[in-house]
């Protein structure tokens, strides 16, 4: 299967970031059609029928999520999750920068569908420069009468704003994001209530990932059946896969869902330096490491990955060659989660701290077999005890590397035991 | 109470407030903290107090925000804040090996400021540009495809920039676009 650029259409259409070019390619025609010809329910029905699922990690059906927003008057919001902070993920930034109008149009269609009159695009602070060019795209669209008050001569009003975070992974979690957007500490809260009922400023809010919404204009343009014809039955459409680490050509590759992993790896030029694949993590630092020999035939869709005991998540593939020490990998991910733990709940805050301590010893060659057992104990103390999924994410690399790469742990403790013998 | 922020960025502050509904001034906390960082150089007590007053919140809350986010600096820092990505995907492509090279060129270890006050070096987590790893962010500008040679070139360029612009020697703002370049 080849690459198929839908949300990365800018790679095939030069200048697509410019409003005129975007419009020449059908841009904003679907927003106009939705607002002037379709009822909000009809828009939701099309998106439901397309089978579009959230690209932010969980794969939740998008149309269904939109339908949870209560009908009736009152302020509602669409919040675009452009926080993109999972290590190994760099797709939303490309969409925002190179295909901004498709994202704006998708978000605007979502807003119309749920009756929202404001969209906030929340980006990680490091994207400030891209957010500026995005602001210009919004202003252009507004000046052209494609956003703003009394849209297309109807009484529907819609404003789109960007908002910047300031460097905190947890703000990608939707409730933490909403807190951050309200000027509160970016910490998660318990659900329910779900954002669809009580989100931004306690008003009904849909939080969708950037890539999710960038799919919407084409679904309206070409129809739900067309979309369902791409990918698999339960995972329709394409997915932008971020490939990083030990490959010849790191980058984003948009593929029909269900494409075998080995094809994706080949697109990225294969493992670099002619080396063998030792492992890959399919959804960034928060996903389990899978041994190379088990990767090649994996099909990249939500069901197949779950059936294989893994996850597709945001499809951020970190590729590791045969020289990689998996104890070191678990140390690196532990350091990430320790740094990013928001500190609200103690199993996550304390547990990730101890993981970095023990992994530090193991990686430095001063760890013992007791330390390996200690990792197991810390895992048990974090597991199922945290407030939000971050604590659980922190366990993916330790658990999977311990289970799948025990020889790396034996080597880590072996250095000490050999050294001790020599000294003695 | 100082009003450096308001003096310097009056219209930017109004533009930030305009993005949020009336009565939701607190939502502008992060945009205002960026501006304050640019106006004051870092988020000093005065900076925090002015932001708190502008958004109608207390300084304890605003101090908490400043501490929570990695792009806010509460201490004085070098003219160039080098945030070097050393997270897993960048490390797979050599960031750990190149770090000593960078430290030597800058004249400071990670977590410190160089004796000449020109550079502050920090190791940071993934900046969503792993396809161009290793990479770094310098005063919020990305630099890509780093290796010992390109790092050498980069630091030489930064030193030249600083020499041609003496203002650079003082901690300037680690802040929004108007303060960049
Ligand atoms: C710790 C954590 C970090 C997350 N980071 C992101 C992120 O950076 N971007 C994103 O779109 N979703 C992220 N999510 C998922 C969001 O909470 C939410 O499910 C998603 O934005 C919903 O959009 P979707 O339905 O379009 O996928 C994260 C979740 C958790 C628990
Ligand atoms: S790990 Fe460095 S940019 Fe992602």
Domain boundaries, chain A: 9-228, 238-321, 326-423
Nearest to A340 among B27, B29, B125 (CB): B125
As given in the structure block, the two tokens for residue A93 are 């930034």
Model confidence at A353: pLDDT above 70? yes
**Atom number in ligand 2 closest to CA B88:** 1
Comparing alpha-carbon positions, the chain A residue that sits nearest to B136 is A126
Residue percentage of chain A with pLDDT more than 70: 97
CA dihedral B142, A11, A210, B91 (to 10 degrees): -40
> Which residues fall within 8 angstroms of residue A382, CB to CB, at 6 or more apart?
A347, A348, A351, A352, A391, A392, A394, A395
User: Per CATH, the architecture of A238-321 is what?
Assistant: Roll (3.10)
- Which ligand lies nearest the alpha carbon of A333? 2
Report how many Cβ contacts below 8 Å link chain A to chain B: 142
CATH number of A326-423: 1.20.1440.230
CATH topology of domain A9-228: Rossmann fold (3.40.50)
Nearest to A168 among B21, B55, B69 (CB): B69
A positions 223-242 inside 8 Å of B (CB): 242
A270 vs A390: CA distance, rounded Å: 31
CB contact under 8 A, A128 and B27: no
Question: B27 to chain A nearest CA, in Å?
Answer: 4
Comparing alpha-carbon positions, the chain B residue that sits nearest to A318 is B89
From first to last of the 181 residues of chain B, give the pLDDT tens digit: 789 999 999 999 999 999 999 999 999 999 999 999 989 989 999 999 999 999 999 999 999 999 999 999 999 888 899 999 999 999 999 999 999 999 999 999 999 999 998 999 999 999 999 999 999 999 888 999 999 999 999 999 999 988 887 665 444 444 444 333 3
Q: Is A181 on the interface with B (CB under 8 A)?
A: yes
CA dihedral A138, A141, A144, A148 (to 10 degrees): -70
3-state helix, strand, coil in chain A (%, to 5): 50, 15, 35
Q: How far is the CA of A194 from the centre of ligand 2 (A)?
A: 31
Q: How far is the CA of A177 from the centre of ligand 1 (A)?
A: 9
pLDDT per position as a tens digit, A277-288: 999 999 999 999
As given in the structure block, the two tokens for residue A228 are 């369902």
- Enclosing H/E stretch for A164: strand A159-164
Q: Look at residue B168 in the predicted model and tell me its pLDDT.
A: 52
**Residues A16-27, mean pLDDT to the nearest whole number:** 98
Q: Look at residue B167 in the predicted model and tell me its pLDDT.
A: 60
CB contact under 8 A, B128 and A127: yes
Domains along chain B with CATH numbers: 4-68 (1.10.10.1590), 80-164 (3.40.30.10)
pLDDT per position as a tens digit, A34-77: 999 999 999 999 999 999 999 999 999 999 999 999 998 999 99
Q: How far is the CA of A247 from the centre of ligand 2 (A)?
A: 15
Q: Look at residue B79 in the predicted model and tell me its pLDDT.
A: 86
When the pLDDT of each residue in chain A is averaged and rounded to a whole number, the result is 95
Supply the DSSP symbol for A194: P
CB contact under 8 A, A182 and B125: no
CB contact under 8 A, B131 and A201: no
Model confidence at A188: pLDDT above 50? yes
- Enclosing H/E stretch for A390: helix A389-404
Q: Look at residue B163 in the predicted model and tell me its pLDDT.
A: 82
Contacts of A250 in chain B (CB under 8 A): 93, 130-133
Q: Look at residue A1 in the predicted model and tell me its pLDDT.
A: 61
Q: Look at residue B172 in the predicted model and tell me its pLDDT.
A: 41
Q: Is the CB of A4 under 6 A from ligand 1?
A: no
For the packed helices B29-40 and B4-18, what is the interaxial angle rounded to 10 degrees? 150
């Amino acid at each position: 299967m080849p690459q198929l650029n839908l949300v990365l259409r800018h790679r095939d259409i030069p200048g697509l970031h410019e409003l005129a070019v975007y419009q020449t390619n059908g841009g904003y025609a679907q927003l106009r059609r939705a607002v002037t010809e379709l009822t909000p329910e009809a828009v939701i029905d099309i998106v439901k029928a397309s089978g579009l699922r959230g690209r932010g990690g969980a794969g939740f059906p998008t149309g269904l999520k939109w339908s949870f927003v209560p009908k009736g008057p009152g302020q509602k919001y669409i919040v675009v999750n452009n926080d993109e902070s999972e290590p190994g993920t760099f797709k939303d930034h490309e969409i925002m920068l190179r295909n901004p109008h498709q994202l704006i149009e998708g978000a605007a269609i979502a807003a119309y569908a749920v009756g929202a009159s404001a969209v906030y695009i929340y980006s990680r602070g490091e994207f400030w420069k891209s957010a500026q060019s995005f602001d210009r795209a919004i202003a252009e669209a507004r000046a052209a009468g494609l956003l703003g008050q009394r849209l297309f001569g109807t009484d529907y009003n819609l404003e789109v704003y960007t908002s910047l975070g300031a460097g905190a992974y947890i703000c990608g979690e939707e409730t933490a994001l909403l807190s951050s957007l309200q000027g509160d500490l970016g910490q998660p809260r318990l659900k329910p209530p779900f954002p669809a009922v009580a989100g931004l400023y306690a008003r009904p809010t849909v939080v969708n990932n950037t890539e999710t919404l960038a799919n919407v204009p084409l679904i309206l343009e070409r129809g739900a059946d067309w979309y369902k014809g791409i990918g698999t039955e339960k995972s329709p459409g394409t997915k932008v896969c971020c490939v990083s680490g030990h490959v010849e050509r790191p980058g984003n590759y948009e593929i029909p869902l269900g494409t075998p992993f080995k094809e994706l790896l080949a697109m990225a030029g294969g493992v670099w330096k002619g080396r063998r694949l030792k492992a890959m993590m399919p959804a960034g630092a928060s996903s389990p490491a899978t041994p190379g020999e088990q990767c090649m035939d994996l099909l990249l869709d939500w069901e197949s990955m779950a059936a294989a005991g893994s996850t597709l998540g945001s499809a951020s593939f970190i590729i590791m060659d045969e020289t990689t020490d998996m104890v070191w990998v678990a140390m690196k991910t532990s350091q990430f989660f320790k740094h990013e733990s928001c500190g609200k709940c103690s199993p996550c805050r304390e547990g990730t701290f101890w993981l970095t301590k023990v992994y530090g010893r193991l990686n430095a060659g001063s760890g013992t077999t007791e330390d390996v057992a200690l990792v197991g104990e810390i895992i048990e103390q974090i597991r199922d005890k945290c407030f939000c999924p971050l604590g659980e994410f922190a366990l993916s690399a330790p658990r999977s590397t311990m289970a799948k790469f025990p020889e790396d742990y034996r080597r880590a403790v072996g250095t000490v035991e050999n050294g001790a013998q020599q000294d003695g | 109470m100082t009003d450096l922020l308001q003096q310097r960025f009056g219209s930017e502050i109004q533009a930030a407030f305009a993005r949020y509904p009336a009565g939701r001034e607190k939502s502008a906390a992060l945009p205002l903290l960026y501006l304050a960082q640019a106006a004051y150089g870092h988020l000093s007590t005065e900076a925090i107090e002015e932001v708190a007053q502008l958004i109608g919140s207390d300084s304890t809350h605003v101090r908490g925000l400043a501490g929570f986010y990695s792009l806010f600096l509460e201490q004085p820092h070098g003219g160039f804040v080098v945030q070097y990505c050393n997270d897993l995907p960048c490390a797979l492509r050599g960031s750990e090996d190149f770090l000593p090279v960078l430290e030597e060129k800058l004249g400071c270890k990670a977590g410190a400021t160089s004796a000449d006050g020109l550079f502050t070096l920090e190791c940071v987590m993934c900046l969503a540009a792993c396809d161009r790893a290793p990479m770094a962010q310098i005063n919020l500008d990305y630099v890509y495809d780093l290796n010992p040679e390109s790092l050498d070139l980069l630091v030489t360029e930064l030193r030249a920039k600083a020499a041609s612009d003496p203002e650079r020697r003082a901690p300037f703002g680690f802040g929004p676009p108007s303060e960049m370049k």
